Chain A
């Protein structure tokens, strides 16, 4: 169990640029989640995968956001035409497929700063 890995740890970009984050879940965890956390707040759910299928998306996930998990292993979250309001910590979590109620294991997050 090497834990959930997220890259990069920090991303600084100019408004209007595209960014992509990667998440490697714990091996054999078939559930993968993305959350967004702004400073001083709790994480907010963005989207959820079971294996390669994206099963739920929050209305927070505008059409500038897209997430994939092509082979049911790692996942990517892309933000197009970034805006100031996208500045946040993006957290990835994974859990076993033995039940949706199993505790989620979180990565260190990717902190996005928009200049």
Chain B
């Protein structure tokens, strides 16, 4: 069974600094998709960034980028120039390439606090 592990329950960073959130996953599949979702306090979960496993190039979205290491099954999220609005719980999610269901498998989450 596929699993996703986020080993950092809580992290904090000073405003304008850079922070990296870790995620590892376990799968025997070769084709899959990885996502980072952000869930602000009492607000809905929104997509931050996604990566297709068949792409070697790391995905970037403005201040957000990933370090995708397929062999190591690692998918970390880097947030540059942290802003107060980045304070949220961040979830790493895995989507198997087989099955065609869209069934996301989430990690336990990392609570990030950006301090002024």
A95 to B47, CA, bound (A): 12
Partner-contacting stretch, out of A20-28, A68-76, A78-86, A106-114: A106-114
Q: A101-B33, A103-B50, A107-B44 are in contact. Are A40 and B109 (CB under 8 A)?
A: yes
Counting chain B residues whose Cβ lies within 8 A of the other chain, the interface size class is 20 to 34
Question: Which residue from A41, A43, A55, A107 sits with its C-beta under 8 Å from B104?
Answer: A43
Contacting residues, chain B, for A100 (C-beta < 8 A): 95, 99-102
Scoring A45, A91, A101 by chain B CB atoms within 10 A of each residue's CB, the highest score goes to A101
Closest to B32 in A: A101
Q: A101-B33, A103-B35, A103-B50 are in contact. Are A45 and B105 (CB under 8 A)?
A: yes
Instruction: Mark B39-53 against chain A: 1 for CB-CB distance below 8 A, else 0.
Output: 000011111001010
A104 to B106, CA, bound (A): 13
Closest to B105 in A: A45
Is the Cβ of A45 less than 8 Å from the Cβ of B104? yes
Q: A101-B95, A108-B43 are in contact. Are A48 and B103 (CB under 8 A)?
A: yes
Question: Which residue from B4, B35, B102 sits with its C-beta under 8 Å from A48?
Answer: B102
Say yes or no for B75: interface residue by CB 8 A criterion: no
Min CB gap A21→B, angstroms = 15
List residues of chain A with CB under 8 Å of any chain B CB. Answer: 3-4, 31, 33, 35, 40-45, 48, 55-56, 91, 95, 100-109
